[in-house]
Amino acid sequence: MSLVIRRARVLTLAGDRPRRGSCLADLGLLERADVAIRDGTIAAIGSGLPAAQREIDADGRVLMPAFADCHSHACWAGDRLDEWAQKLRGVPYLDILRAGGGIMSTVRAVRSAGRASLAATLLERLRLMRSLGSATVEVKSGYGLSTEAERTMLGAIADAAARADAEGGPSVVPTALLGHAKDAAWGGAGEDGGDGFVERTIRETLPAVSREHPGITIDAFCEVGAWSVDETVRLLARARELGHPVRVHADQFNSLGMVREAIRLGARSVDHLEASTPADLDALAASPTAGVILPACGFHLDGRYASARRFVDAGGILALATNLNPGSAPCPSMPAAMALAVRHCGITPAEAIAASTVNAAHVLGLGDRGQIAVGQRADLLVLRHRDERALAYEFGSNPVWAMVRGGVLIGA
């Protein structure tokens, strides 16, 4: 199957990857160009390219890499609407978690849902995310907590991923979020004053997941009332020994020192960063570990946002994601995340585009997408807009005019 998209304003994002510092704003613009696609990959970029089986006239619209949403908790059951009502009355997120709600209420719903129903609801959310321009979506487990329930979640994510793949995407990258909260009832009493849940997760769940999903990324939520720095380091260090990449949620509400430990562990990314100190942002920026900002949390919870401007100016690898989840960010839309990041995290529309494409793919370890260059996977968006700044300027709308996923045209 061959396809040519003609007369587009092409944001190639070609060149160095990942993008750091001032290079983040370099979109590799070709003001008027054609892009040819063959067998799922980009075959040529230029003008007056030969005819193909299928042709689209973009008529000056923006053509860019599709989004990679590199942080989501899109697999869940139940809802948190009653808790949202509490939050609207001013009850903090961590107080709800401390009282046994929050993540734990979703854990209870997930455990009673079963694999088939988890996969079915995830598939619906994936379709919605694709319709908003995400061709790749990372999906975390983390609402199972026990070994069996985490395995069920990861099985459901794999089932939904296979079905999504067969029907036009998005491509799913699973992550095992083994350290999300703690279920004392499942963990039992710890030895030598340690936390029983943490010990059992490291001793039992991690090896089981490692056997079943070799090389899967392991993640944890390091926060007051969740996993401490010491516990997170123990889990992630063991995961590294077993050959897994690691990521971590850190500094969402409190700066605990996890950023420095994540750098030391060689983590792929540190995600959140709302409460990070300037010194920690600078240290992260000087490292190979990326920073992932999740501004839908600030919008939904408490008006606190990561200082992405400082991080980028210090030379950091910045990525942006929705963080879709029922508690802190019920947001499936990358364009909405971009609109928030530009308004509240200090980055420009161009920087938001690079953070949502080439750098987001980097966080997921995917070097085959995120740029429009010969040989790259053809996951592309044609926007309604003829100026890419409109992508972050408009909000509450869908900017997608047409999407190509793995070389297949999804709509125009």
Enumerate binding residues for ligand NIG (CB under 6 A).
73, 102-103, 106, 221, 249, 252, 297, 323, 325-329
Output the smallest distance, CB 325 to ligand NIG, in A: 4
| Residue placing its CB nearer to ligand NIG in the complex, 14 or 97 | 97
| Residue placing its CB nearer to ligand NIG in the complex, 63 or 177 | 177
* Residue of 273, 261, 211 whose CA lies nearest to 235: 261
Judge whether 119 and 163 are in contact, CB under 8 Å. Answer: yes
Judge whether 395 and 335 are in contact, CB under 8 Å. Answer: yes
Output the smallest distance, CB 106 to ligand NIG, in A: 5
CB atoms within 10 A of CB 198: 22
| Residue placing its CB nearer to ligand NIG in the complex, 44 or 128 | 128
Judge whether 331 and 298 are in contact, CB under 8 Å. Answer: no
| Residue placing its CB nearer to ligand NIG in the complex, 221 or 299 | 221
Output the smallest distance, CB 303 to ligand NIG, in A: 15
Output the smallest distance, CB 314 to ligand NIG, in A: 23
Q: Which residue is nearest to ligand NIG (CB)?
A: 327
Output the smallest distance, CB 40 to ligand NIG, in A: 32
Output the smallest distance, CB 364 to ligand NIG, in A: 16
**Contacts of 258-263 spanning 24+ positions with Cβ under 8 A:** 258/222, 258/229, 258/232, 259/283, 259/284, 261/229, 261/232, 261/233, 262/236, 262/289, 263/287, 263/289
Output the smallest distance, CB 259 to ligand NIG, in A: 16
| Residue placing its CB nearer to ligand NIG in the complex, 43 or 250 | 250
Q: What is the 3-state secondary structure (H, E, C) of the chain?
A: CEEEEEEEEEECCCCCCCCCHHHHHCCCEEEEEEEEEECCEEEEEECCCCCCCEEEECCCCEEEECEEECCCCCCCCCCCHHHHHHHHCCCCHHHHHHCCCCHHHHHHHHHHHCHHHHHHHHHHHHHHHHHCCEEEEEEECCCCCCHHHHHHHHHHHHHHHHHHHHCCCCEEEEEEEEECCCCHHHHCCCHHHCCHHHHHHHHHHHHHHHHHCCCCEEEEEECCCCECHHHHHHHHHHHHHCCCCEEEEECCCCCCCHHHHHHHHCCCEEEECCCCCHHHHHHHHCCCCEEEECHHHHHHHHCCCCCHHHHHHCCCCEEECCCCECCCECCCCHHHHHHHHHHHCCCCHHHHHHHHCHHHHHHCCCCCCCCCCCCCECCEEEECCCCCCHHHHCCCCCCEEEEEECCEEEEC
| Residue placing its CB nearer to ligand NIG in the complex, 182 or 369 | 182
**154 — phi, psi (to 5°)?**
-65, -30
| Residue placing its CB nearer to ligand NIG in the complex, 123 or 297 | 297
| Residue placing its CB nearer to ligand NIG in the complex, 19 or 249 | 249
Output the smallest distance, CB 49 to ligand NIG, in A: 43
Output the smallest distance, CB 136 to ligand NIG, in A: 18
| Residue placing its CB nearer to ligand NIG in the complex, 336 or 409 | 336
| Residue placing its CB nearer to ligand NIG in the complex, 326 or 399 | 326
| Residue placing its CB nearer to ligand NIG in the complex, 12 or 252 | 252
Output the smallest distance, CB 326 to ligand NIG, in A: 6
Output the smallest distance, CB 169 to ligand NIG, in A: 23
